[in-house]
Amino acid sequence: MAGEIAGGKDFVALRRFIGLTQIAFARALGISVHMLRNWEQGRRLEDPALVWLRVAARHPRVLKENLAATASSSEG
């Protein structure tokens, strides 16, 4: 993912690039699917959301590790 990250379409592109569903991406970020959908559609997209997006774009492996940790902790 090169270039400036600026909006909801970037969330969709990043999520697809990483290969996660909306549900999995939301879990990895620690947010609700409803909030993710709002962000992806450009609604309620504020600076903290863009920070999450930039971190996820720079560290997709960490995002997937967080998802795996979240899944394993909910199994126990």
Which CATH number is associated with domain 8-75? 1.10.260
pLDDT given at position 1: 42
pLDDT given at position 3: 54
Please name which of 32, 28, 31 lies closest in space to residue 56, comparing C-alpha atoms: 28
* Rounded (5°) CA angle 32-36-42: 145
The residues, any chain, with a CB within 8 Å of residue 55's CB and separated by 6 or more, are: none
Residue 47 tokens, joined: 């600076």
Place of tokens 């993710």: 36
Q: Walk along the chain (76 residues) in steps of 10 and give the mean pLDDT of each run.
A: 64 88 90 89 76 82 84 69
One-letter amino acid of 48: P
